[in-house]
Structure 1
Amino acid sequence: MELISFTILLLLTGLKNITVTMNVFYKLAETSEEFEQAKELFIEYANSLDIDLSFQNFSGELESVRLQYDKPTGALLLVYQDGSLAGCAGIRRLDDEIAELKRMYVRPDFRGFGIGKELLERAIATAARIGYKKVRLDTLSSMTKARSLYESFGFEPIDPYYFNPIEETIYMERVI
């Protein structure tokens, strides 16, 4: 487990400066408990979308999280802030050269601190370490902050690589 401590300086108009220090841990899921924690985040993420993910066999994904997101062809990154589970990102195999980034999610209370950016950077690096040459993902056009983050990391729009009935779905890819 890697600890990253950083300090945020908040400047409040008319008030004194406030310094907040947070401890942020990033780690790969290894234990059954950690994969169960990730499943809870997957469900929370799915509920936040307000769309039905049954076309992706979401219930089957939940039943086989470890199989899909564990070594040697996958990874599940977890992030904790001050001891609380803050988010996750999954890497799973599409084919020998292409990984898919799935279920990247940072809980609302933990957003705005750079966790998503670091999580994405680590997910891409993990896919490269596994041996993938590209990372694909899908997102929704309404997720403007997520799309901007992906674009800032070099992800570009591509044609659909699987069936998705949600019209606002955007497919993206990055060479790594």
Structure 2
Amino acid sequence: MERKTVTMDSANRARSQVIHIREAEFPGDMAAVLDIWREYVASPSVSLEYQDNESEFAVLPGKYEAPEGRIFLAEIEGRLAGCVAFRREDNAICEMKRLYVRPFARGTGMGRKLVTAAIDAARAAGYAEMRLDVLAEFEAAQQLYASFGFGDADPISENPTPGARFLGLALT
């Protein structure tokens, strides 16, 4: 009888592993946050230079520092695989930023777990609404946000990219 060897690609392995979501700690997680955020910034087909990311990165955690904001990291078997953050816009509204799942972990439910962590923490921080913007090319992210009840909202940050959508979710 012939024996076949089956190898699983990294995405299949990731789907079978436990996802661990945790709040980033500074300064210990600085390198990890910068690594995945720079990967996130490079991921769209359009430039995000208008955001002046390097200035924001230079002062992390900055606007994302608790109690007004948070940065969450997702890991699979100790390997950094995703992130999300939120920051204060005003007393009632926060903005979700930088939802990103690395390619090897896509399809694992990690995006949903990251969004849940951000929403839960924003509610606990007392925000009444969460807003975000999303590029047209990120269709899976748009579907994910819709599944949580995000709907069209007024912009709270600049995004000159054609087709960008501005979404909001009531937290109370």
Residue 67 of structure 1 pairs with residue 62 of structure 2: yes
Cα deviation, 1:55-79, whole Å, max 9, x if unaligned, reads: 2221111112211211121100111
How far apart in 1 are the matches of 2:49 and 2:16?
40
Corresponding residue of 2:6: none
CA drift at 1:156: 0.3
Which has the larger displacement, 27-36 or 129-138?
Answer: 27-36
Residue ranges of structure 1 left out of the alignment (5+ in a row): 1-17
Corresponding residue of 2:29: 34
- Classify the secondary structure of the residue corresponding to 1:61: helix
1:135 to 95, 112, 130: 130
1:110 to 96, 105, 108: 105
TM-score, normalised relative to structure 2: 0.86
- Classify the secondary structure of the residue corresponding to 1:30: coil
- Classify the secondary structure of the residue corresponding to 2:66: coil
- Classify the secondary structure of the residue corresponding to 1:119: helix
Equivalent position amino acid for 1:91 in 2: F
Cα–Cα, structure 1 residues 166 and 25, in superposed 2: closer, same or farther, change >3 Å?
same
Residue 45 of structure 1 pairs with residue 40 of structure 2: yes
Residue 157 of structure 1 pairs with residue 152 of structure 2: yes
CA drift at 1:21: 4.0
Residue ranges of structure 2 left out of the alignment (5+ in a row): 1-12
Q: Percent identity?
A: 34
Which has the larger displacement, 83-92 or 157-166?
Answer: 157-166
CA RMSD after TM alignment: 1.6
Higher normalized strand content (fraction of residues): 1
Question: Which structure carries more relative contact order (alpha carbon 8 Å, separation 6+)?
Answer: 2
Corresponding residue of 1:12: none
**1:90-109 map, 5 Å:** 90-109=85-104
- Classify the secondary structure of the residue corresponding to 2:47: coil
Cα deviation, 1:31-76, whole Å, max 9, x if unaligned, reads: 3121321111110011111322222221111112211211121100
CA drift at 1:162: 2.8
Corresponding residue of 1:9: none
How far apart in 2 are the matches of 1:21 and 1:100?
31
Equivalent position amino acid for 1:49 in 2: P
Which has the larger displacement, 106-115 or 55-64?
Answer: 55-64
TM-score, normalised relative to structure 1: 0.85
How far apart in 2 are the matches of 1:169 and 1:83?
33
